[in-house]
Amino acid sequence: MAKPEHEMTWHDLDVGFVVTEPGNARCYRTGDWKSMKPVLNRERCVHCGLCYIYCPDMSYSMDSEGFFIVDLNYCKGCGICAEECPTKAITMVPEEEE
């Protein structure tokens, strides 16, 4: 995207508000919607990948050690990963807590 959304004027919009740049939804960081965030306990994680599969925002990706890590720029805090985790390795904590 040429400019962040909040800086675009009406002149910057294409005819019919067509988006010509594929995949630019990535620029739209929906992570600031959440009030709760998932925290992973690596001791309990069995690398099953269910959090990765169930995440409706595709916020999880696997790191080099085989853990599935959430990208908080896109996580909306829905808690599905914590609910589905078979070993209860994921807990939802308030956004402001470390």
Partner 1 sequence: MGKRVGMEVSIAASEAVKLANTDVVAAYPITPQTHIVEHLSEFVNNGELDAEFVPVESEHSAMSVCLGSSAAGARTFTCTSSQGLILMSEIVYIAATMRLPIVMILANRSVSGPLSIWNDHTDVMAIRDCGWIQVFANNGQEVFDHVLWAFRVGEDRRVIHPVIVNLDGFILTHVIEPIELLDQETVDRFLPPYEPLHRLHPDKPVTMGCFAMPNLYTETKKAQDEALKATMPTILEGWKEFGDLTGRHYHPIEEYRTEDADLLIVAMGSLGETACVAADSMRAQGKSVGVLEIRLWRPFPFDLFRQAVRKAGTLVVMDRATSYGGPGGPVSSEIRAALYGTDHQPKVVNFIVGLAGRDVSPEDFETMVDLTLSGKAKTRQEDYQIYGVRE
Chain residues binding partner 1 by CB under 8 A are 5-6, 8-20, 22
**Distance in angstroms (rounded) separating the CA atoms of residues 59 and 56:** 8
Query: Considering the complex, what minimum distance in angstroms separates the CB of residue 34 from partner 1?
Result: 17
Residue 87: C-alpha distances to residues 30, 72, 79 (Å): 28, 22, 15
Nearer to partner 1, 2 or 15 (CB): 15
Query: Considering the complex, what minimum distance in angstroms separates the CB of residue 3 from partner 1?
Result: 11
Nearer to partner 1, 76 or 81 (CB): 76
Query: Considering the complex, what minimum distance in angstroms separates the CB of residue 39 from partner 1?
Result: 29
Query: Considering the complex, what minimum distance in angstroms separates the CB of residue 28 from partner 1?
Result: 8
Q: Which residues pair with 36 in a beta bridge?
A: 94
Nearer to partner 1, 16 or 86 (CB): 16
**Exposure pattern of 6-43 as b/e (b: 16+ CB <10 Å)?**
eeeeeeeeeeeeeeeeeeeeeeeeebeebebbbebeee
